[in-house]
């Protein structure tokens, strides 16, 4: 029950606040009809998958800034290949996953062989992948609007099924499998993990490949929601990476209390998308929404980075309180002893 409470407290609190604001200032509910529900689940799956992709590498000390470019490459190449072969929405999803997985795997291979800093390597691979995506298919990107057979990507039950399968798969991989055990050992102490016989390079490659596959899933559902995915240049794809750092960080924080970071990231993704949907119902423009979201992220990171200091100050105040209480009790005991001496002498 305690874990269930921590899982639901943030999404329910965000929903309650946005519902109150929406009804007071806009006269509507945050989730008023099936279209709102469909939109929520579609953006939720996209956000959750991208945040999970970041969770594959960031906790290990590998800040891969190429994840956004991997999303564009996987969706544009894999999605268009699937459409040309006559496959429907499921084929677009599978094709994007395969290309995205390959893109992530290549970044991992370069990383473990050249030993370049992950952030620097991510910037370089971002430029390469963005150029390939931009040059492919006459700079048209991926168009799903009006394509036959892609309607399933907007089906709410298909979206929920994909999200459930990803949660189960990632829970098994990161929490229950031998790979997940080794990953946690590497995260704890890489040198001790190597000395114990763990192949850190294979583990790294799997993390990069999974991240590429997950961002491809995110890109497919985002494209299904918007209709098109236009290629970008100049490292603009990094916007997706920084944007989804918020649910990833909050999810890791919740995961400590829940006991499962995957469920924590899912709960934080729900909260973020409810917040966005509520701000849209209030009529706030995109720039103001971005300011609000990143301001909340900034305050959260300030709290999270200073959590140990806050805990230390809390323990210090408790020790001070105990010391004052002890001093007060000793003073009362001394007063009582003096009274006894006076009574005995008289």
What is the per-residue pLDDT across 294-313, written as a single tens digit (0 to 9) for each? 888 888 888 877 877 777 77
- Kindly give the residue spans of alpha helices, DSSP state H, lying in the chain: 2-25, 34-57, 67-73, 79-84, 89-114, 118-135, 156-171, 178-188, 190-195, 200-226, 238-243, 245-258, 261-281, 286-305, 307-345
Q: What is the pTM of this model?
A: 0.84
- As beta bridge partners, residue 142 has 229
CA distance 269 to 43: 9
Report pLDDT digits (tens) over 100-154: 999 999 999 999 998 888 888 888 999 999 999 888 887 888 888 877 788 888 8
Whether residue 345 has pLDDT greater than 60: no
Buried b (16+ CB within 10 A) or exposed e, 10-30: bbeebbeebbeebeeeeeeeb
Report pLDDT digits (tens) over 224-264: 888 888 888 888 888 888 888 888 888 888 888 888 888 88
CATH class of 2-307: mainly alpha
Angle between helix 156-171 and 34-57 (nearest 10): 20
Show me where the domains of the chain are located.
Answer: 2-307, 308-346
């Amino acid at each position: 029950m305690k874990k269930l409470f921590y899982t639901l407290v943030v999404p329910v609190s965000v929903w309650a606040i946005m519902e109150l604001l929406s009804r007071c200032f806009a006269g509507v509910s945050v989730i008023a009809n099936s279209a709102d529900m469909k939109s929520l689940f579609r953006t939720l799956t996209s956000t959750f998958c991208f945040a999970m992709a970041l969770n594959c590498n960031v906790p290990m000390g590998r800040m891969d800034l190429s994840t956004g470019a991997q999303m564009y490459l996987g969706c544009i190449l894999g999605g268009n290949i699937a459409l040309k072969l006559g496959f429907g929405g499921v084929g677009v999803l599978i094709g994007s996953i395969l290309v995205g997985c390959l893109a992530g795997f290549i970044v991992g291979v370069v990383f473990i062989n050249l030993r370049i800093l992950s952030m620097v390597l991510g910037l370089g691979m971002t430029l390469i992948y963005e150029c390939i995506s931009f040059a492919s298919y006459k700079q048209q990107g991926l168009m799903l609007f009006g394509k036959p057979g892609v309607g399933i990507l907007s089906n709410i039950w298909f979206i929920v099924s994909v999200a459930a399968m990803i949660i189960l798969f990632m829970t098994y991989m990161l929490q229950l499998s031998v790979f997940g055990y080794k990953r946690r050992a590497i995260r704890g102490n890489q040198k001790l993990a190597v000395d114990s016989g763990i192949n850190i390079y294979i583990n790294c490659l799997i993390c990069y490949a999974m991240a590429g596959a997950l961002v491809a899933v995110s890109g497919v559902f985002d494209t299904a929601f918007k209709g098109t995915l236009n290629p970008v240049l100049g490292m603009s794809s990094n916007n997706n990476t920084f944007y989804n750092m918020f649910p990833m960080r909050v999810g890791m924080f919740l995961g400590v209390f829940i006991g499962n970071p995957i469920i924590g990231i899912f709960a934080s993704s729900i909260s973020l998308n409810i917040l966005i949907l509520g701000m849209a119902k209030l009529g706030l423009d995109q720039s103001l929404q971005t300011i609000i979201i990143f301001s909340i992220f900034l305050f959260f990171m300030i709290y999270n980075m200073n959590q140990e200091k806050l805990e230390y100050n809390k323990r210090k105040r408790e020790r001070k309180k105990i010391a004052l209480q002890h001093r007060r009790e000793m003073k009362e005991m001394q007063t009582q002893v003096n009274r006894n001496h006076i009574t005995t002498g008289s």
